[in-house]
Structure 1
Amino acid sequence: MKGMARRRSTLAPAVFYPAGGLILLFVLLGFFATDAVAEVMSTLQAKTVNGFGWYYVVLVAAFVIFAVYLGVSRFGEITLGPDDEAPDFKLPVWFAMLFATGMGIGLVYYGVAEPLSHFENPKPGVGGDEPQLAEAAMGQTYLHWGFHPWAIYVIIGLALAYSIHRKGRPASIRWALEPLLGERRVRGWLGNVIDVLAIFGTVFGVATSLGLGVQQIAAGLDYLDVASPGLALQMGLIAGITAVAALSVASGLEKGIKWLSNANMMLAGLLLVAVLVMGSSLFLMREWVQSIGYYFQNVMMMTFDTLAFQGDAGLEWESGWTIFYWGWWISWAPFVGLFIARISRGRTVREFVMGTLLVPMLVTTVWFSVFGGSAIHQERNEPGSMLADGAVNTDTAMFQLFETLPGGGAWMAVAAIVLVVVFFVTSSDSGSFVVDMLANGGEQNPPLWSRLFWAILEGGVAAALLYAGGLSALQTASILTALPFSLVLIGAAISIWKALDGEYKEITRVERRLRRRELTEEVTEHVTGHVTEHFAELTGQLPAVDDSNRDGAAPAAARSGRRAGVPWRRRDAGNGRGSGQDTSG
């Protein structure tokens, strides 16, 4: 309209069009060349797991070690923002926001299923009686959901927080690598490639979560006799919930989404407490303490376990569990890293690292201990009660647990479905916002139309993956998209080291200069004061000048004082006084 200022376009064409075009092409191929896509993905998964499984294991282990080192190192007191700036959020609020990040749908989907699966079908090479298998099952689950994924988020999140809050750079993944690549390369084609890889990782990571959530919602609706499970229901759910997510994006209900997120966290807490109280509470608390001990006792061995001596069975298990998780968390890293970076302004490096590692670890271990521990306890007491056709069904395991609880059942199933739906909406909304920022060069208020585009595209990718192969395709997508982005994470680790080390050295140089200056001033003041005091003491002992020697030589005492280094000031020839001496008497 005439007279109205036209908004300047912030779109980064070299990022938006390649990323959006390739992902859209994948969606179309997933629906119209399904068999070919499924075959290609299966082949790539096998080659990736066979060739790079060890690489994922070593990489994630290195991230854990590096993250812990940063938290306890000399860099810990550096502020992620201007010096002495107060944090944007109080500590309890910040902890709550960390808890709400990154794993919502996954916690609901795998909360019962994973520990129970490891108990019923142990990792190859793990043996023993039932108590030993139960311990190993909980410890393996903690490995997948504890320190290791959050160490990945620490690396990219810390690099972004330093870049955004300390250096004032745009909210874009490329700028996290500026200390390594330099400003010119970051602004050029290499920076575009980095942001495209980040978009791929985020879209496929979010789509994996959405696909898992839809499978569980469909199973819950079947449990409630609302609808029959199947691919058609899953496609319909994706379409309907994606439409709700797009409506959320279009309406700009930031406060509404915040309210929904907080309400969802309270609902998750209510469900957790209900299972704890209605189940074997004392056993679950004892089991949590014991499984934490098992985890810490065996974490090093589990971290580096590649099942090298277990042959094909080991590779199959790794691809379905550990390697899938490491790929999934790496895919989520741009999204979660950018989020925790934005909420951490004013935190020190030590606060950032320790908070990001410890708070989610505590919450996730309690969650899995209550839900997974309850499932294992139930299966041990009543064998077969938590199985479907002799095996663990990850889609229905949580609803089966609800049936075994006194007073549980339908209302808990409804609560779980609501949890997943709201996690779906908020994850899609937040994910599309992060992706759109990357596609707009770090602009923190990207245009509405492009946010809608990414929200719809995320739903399309989830639908295409389910259509092309279900859970296996979802797992394969995470493993494959994580491989190229892992190089960005390595670059981010090197960059944050270079940045923090350079700043620490500069701080040390400044502090040394200040200490030298203060020491010089202190010594000078001390010496000057001492000499002045000593001079006053000496001059105060000098006798009065004798008038009889006015025209002669200086008195002997004065001469001796001058020889001793005490200044002897000559008399003023005009008034007949020695300087500083009264001769009137």
Structure 2
Amino acid sequence: MNKKIMDWPTFAGALFLLLSVTIPLILFPQKGQVIVDKLQDIITTNFGVVFMIVGLGIFLFLLYVAFSKNGQVKLGDKGEKPEFKTFSWAAMLFCAGIGSSILYWGTIEWAYYYQAPPFAVEGGTKEAIQWASVYGIFHWGPIAWAIYTLPALPIAYFYYVRKKPVLKISEACRPVIGKRADGPLGTIIDVLFMFGLMGGAGTTLALGTPMIAEGISSLTGIEVTLGLKTGILIVCTVIFAISAYSGLKKGIKVLSDVNLWLSLFLLAFVFIFGPTKFISETTFNSLGLLADNFFRMATWTESFAGLNSIAETSFPESWTVFYWAWWLVYAPFVGLFIARISRGRTIKQMVLGTMLYGTLGSVLFFGVIGNYGMYMQLTGQFDIINVLNTQGAPAAIISVIAQLPMAPIMITTFTVLAIIFLATTFDSSSYILASVVQNYVEEEPLRWNRLFWAFALCLLPLTLMILGGLGTLQTASIVGGTPLLFIMVMLAWSFMKASNEDIVASDDYQPKTINLDSKQIKRRLKRKKRLQKEQEQEDSQVS
């Protein structure tokens, strides 16, 4: 029975690709890093505009879907209520999509923009301050969450509407690639997704682990060493392994709820006991600046750099293109997870809810904690930028939290929150990876399968961290995510093709004879009969 449940070619293919990439990096770390860095430079420099076009295109496409007839489709049976309450649903999608990275960048990203702002603005000026506050919200805002949401459309549609018990990217592409979804092409698509997710998880791990280590060091005085980082990874692994083993409702849901309440406590404390007026006004001003310059920021490619002595900053490649590539790497995973938890909601509710709640959470972190750190810098109460440039980002982040009242308690809260954030991302990842390597998922993936990927997610980055190759894996994940540009287009095409066919075939569909000639009506009715016949054949095979 297990042989029928498990998709062994995808399982083996994902492991083989990961080992074939990471083993050479372990054996030849310097040469491997040079090659991967060159590939990243080629991709971001020559194809950066493609990433930006795809990002903006996905955002506009999803707005169209949400307010079209396709957006009214219910993910489940008629009258079925959402499987999870809105609070838990929002908590799970936010924790899965963001992870501990929001604590890292939400606290310190403004400092990078303040020193090297966009649009040829001089660093350290009043204008630089405004862009420093708004650009983090832009990079973690509507476009990021739109990229996350796109894969959820066809996956959720096939899983809950067409009743296909498969959580695979290849299955979601079936309307476009047809029977090839069951062959080598489908396996390649799924393996590329799994490789991208593994690399993306390494990036999150690389950001979260040193930050947690700095927090523990600040509280206990223990020096930040490789041993401390290894211990942190083991603790996180145990947490998310137990959560993944417990399942979606008992493990991941509970952990996500705890995470969200702890986040709200931290944000409320900083807002109340920090410079409340400055935080409120700066965040509100940032939202206005973002609304006024959204399309300018989404399309800025620094195209005139290098001409007529115009200085080149590489800001779009270093930040916007990097972020869009990073979101693309995680998008199939987050999309799969969003699809899995969205039963009972309409397509419109899933799309707008994900973009709204995801963006709102990011705005709160960047607006409250980020602007608190900026206030410390601008008023001269604490020189965060000096700590950032001399001791590194993790030390600067903990230094920001240390300026709060009851510093030991808040550092403890921040560190625990980072651990739980890391765990929620990884248990969600292991849950989805286990789903992808199964031919069907009735309720949840097999427990041993979930546990295997839970430990695999930790052990591989741990090995590379010990050998000093983790930075290369981060870069490799962005390179590996490039094929996802084309897969995302297929996913959008696949959803529209499938949902439009079903809308035409539905009993309540009435063709508008004013706009259609007789041949068009006949073609639509013929397609309706064909789809009904295919469904009857599938039902007879199942029975």
TM over 0.5: yes
Secondary structure at 1:44 match in 2: helix
How far did 1:435 drift?
0.6
Secondary structure at 1:395 match in 2: helix
Residues 531-554 of structure 1, C-alpha deviation per residue, up to 9 Å, x if partnerless?
A: xxxxxxxxxxxxxxxxxxxxxxxx
Query: Is 2:415 aligned against 1:420?
Result: no
Secondary structure at 1:100 match in 2: helix
Q: How does 1:136-155 map to 2 (within 5 A)?
A: 136-155=131-150
Which amino acid in structure 1 is aligned with residue 266 of structure 2? L
Q: Does the 8 A contact of 1:30 with 1:464 survive in 2? A: no
Secondary structure at 1:347 match in 2: coil
Residues 54-89 of structure 1, C-alpha deviation per residue, up to 9 Å, x if partnerless?
A: 111111111111111111223222222234433323
Which amino acid in structure 2 is aligned with residue 191 of structure 1? G
How far did 1:225 drift?
4.2
How far did 1:298 drift?
0.5
Secondary structure at 2:482 match in 1: helix
Unaligned runs of 5+ in 2: 514-543
How far did 1:357 drift?
1.2
Residues 253-278 of structure 1, C-alpha deviation per residue, up to 9 Å, x if partnerless?
A: 96244333222221111111111111
Which amino acid in structure 2 is aligned with residue 19 of structure 1? A
Aligned in 2, Cα 1:256/1:313: closer, same or farther, shift over 3 Å?
Answer: farther
Larger deviation, residues 258-267 vs 28-37: 28-37
Q: Does the 8 A contact of 2:122 with 2:128 survive in 1? A: yes
Aligned in 2, Cα 1:285/1:513: closer, same or farther, shift over 3 Å?
Answer: closer
Correspondence for 1:78: 73
Larger deviation, residues 148-157 vs 394-403: 394-403
Correspondence for 1:373: 371
Q: How does 1:234-273 map to 2 (within 5 A)?
A: 234-249=229-244, 255-273=250-268
Q: Does the 8 A contact of 1:150 with 1:357 survive in 2? A: yes
Alpha-carbon distance between aligned partners in 2 of 1:192 and 1:451, rounded to the nearest angstrom: 20
Aligned with residue 58 of structure 2, among 40, 63, 66? 63
Correspondence for 2:339: 341
Aligned in 2, Cα 1:120/1:450: closer, same or farther, shift over 3 Å?
Answer: same
Q: Does the 8 A contact of 1:204 with 1:461 survive in 2? A: no
How far did 1:194 drift?
1.3
Larger deviation, residues 269-278 vs 207-216: 207-216
Aligned in 2, Cα 1:188/1:232: closer, same or farther, shift over 3 Å?
Answer: same
Larger deviation, residues 219-228 vs 491-500: 219-228
Residues 130-180 of structure 1, C-alpha deviation per residue, up to 9 Å, x if partnerless?
A: 432122112211111000111112210111111111111112111211221
Correspondence for 2:516: none
Correspondence for 1:543: none
Q: How does 1:42-441 map to 2 (within 5 A)?
A: 42-123=37-118, 125-127=120-122, 130-169=125-164, 170-182=166-178, 184-249=179-244, 255-310=250-305, 314=312, 316-382=314-380, 385-389=383-387, 391=389, 393-405=392-404, 407-441=405-439
Aligned in 2, Cα 1:264/1:12: closer, same or farther, shift over 3 Å?
Answer: same
Aligned in 2, Cα 1:456/1:388: closer, same or farther, shift over 3 Å?
Answer: farther
Greater gyration radius: 1
Question: What is the aligned length?
Answer: 508
Larger deviation, residues 279-288 vs 290-299: 279-288
Aligned in 2, Cα 1:15/1:443: closer, same or farther, shift over 3 Å?
Answer: same
How far did 1:451 drift?
2.8
Residues 471-516 of structure 1, C-alpha deviation per residue, up to 9 Å, x if partnerless?
A: 85354133212101221111001111212332333459733599xx
Residues 359-415 of structure 1, C-alpha deviation per residue, up to 9 Å, x if partnerless?
A: 21122112210011111111111076212357283212321112222x242211111
Which amino acid in structure 2 is aligned with residue 180 of structure 1? V
How far did 1:349 drift?
2.0
Alpha-carbon distance between aligned partners in 2 of 1:368 and 1:416, rounded to the nearest angstrom: 15
Alpha-carbon distance between aligned partners in 2 of 1:321 and 1:127, rounded to the nearest angstrom: 17
Q: Does the 8 A contact of 1:159 with 1:492 survive in 2? A: yes
Q: Does the 8 A contact of 2:259 with 2:417 survive in 1? A: yes
How far did 1:302 drift?
0.5
Query: What RMSD, in angstroms, separates the aligned Cα atoms of the two structures?
Result: 2.8
Correspondence for 1:571: none
Aligned in 2, Cα 1:36/1:277: closer, same or farther, shift over 3 Å?
Answer: same
Q: Does the 8 A contact of 1:466 with 1:474 survive in 2? A: no
TM-score (norm 1): 0.80
Which amino acid in structure 2 is aligned with residue 400 of structure 1? S
Larger deviation, residues 427-436 vs 90-99: 90-99
Alpha-carbon distance between aligned partners in 1 of 2:168 and 2:156, rounded to the nearest angstrom: 11
Alpha-carbon distance between aligned partners in 1 of 2:371 and 2:302, rounded to the nearest angstrom: 25
Runs (4+) of structure 1 exceeding 6 A deviation are none
Aligned in 2, Cα 1:293/1:124: closer, same or farther, shift over 3 Å?
Answer: closer
Which amino acid in structure 2 is aligned with residue 261 of structure 1? S
How far did 1:460 drift?
3.1
How far did 1:424 drift?
2.1
Q: Does the 8 A contact of 2:96 with 2:425 survive in 1? A: no
Secondary structure at 1:224 match in 2: helix
Percent identity reads 31
How far did 1:458 drift?
1.5
Alpha-carbon distance between aligned partners in 1 of 2:353 and 2:6, rounded to the nearest angstrom: 34
Alpha-carbon distance between aligned partners in 2 of 1:475 and 1:58, rounded to the nearest angstrom: 23
Larger deviation, residues 215-224 vs 15-24: 215-224
Which amino acid in structure 2 is aligned with residue 342 of structure 1? R
Larger deviation, residues 453-462 vs 107-116: 453-462
Correspondence for 2:485: 486
Which amino acid in structure 2 is aligned with residue 221 of structure 1? I
Q: Does the 8 A contact of 1:250 with 1:448 survive in 2? A: yes
Larger deviation, residues 500-509 vs 21-30: 500-509
Secondary structure at 1:483 match in 2: coil
Aligned in 2, Cα 1:60/1:253: closer, same or farther, shift over 3 Å?
Answer: closer
Alpha-carbon distance between aligned partners in 1 of 2:445 and 2:123, rounded to the nearest angstrom: 55
Q: Does the 8 A contact of 2:106 with 2:136 survive in 1? A: no
Aligned in 2, Cα 1:129/1:457: closer, same or farther, shift over 3 Å?
Answer: closer
Aligned in 2, Cα 1:105/1:152: closer, same or farther, shift over 3 Å?
Answer: same
Aligned in 2, Cα 1:109/1:56: closer, same or farther, shift over 3 Å?
Answer: same
Q: Does the 8 A contact of 2:95 with 2:424 survive in 1? A: no
Aligned in 2, Cα 1:58/1:468: closer, same or farther, shift over 3 Å?
Answer: farther
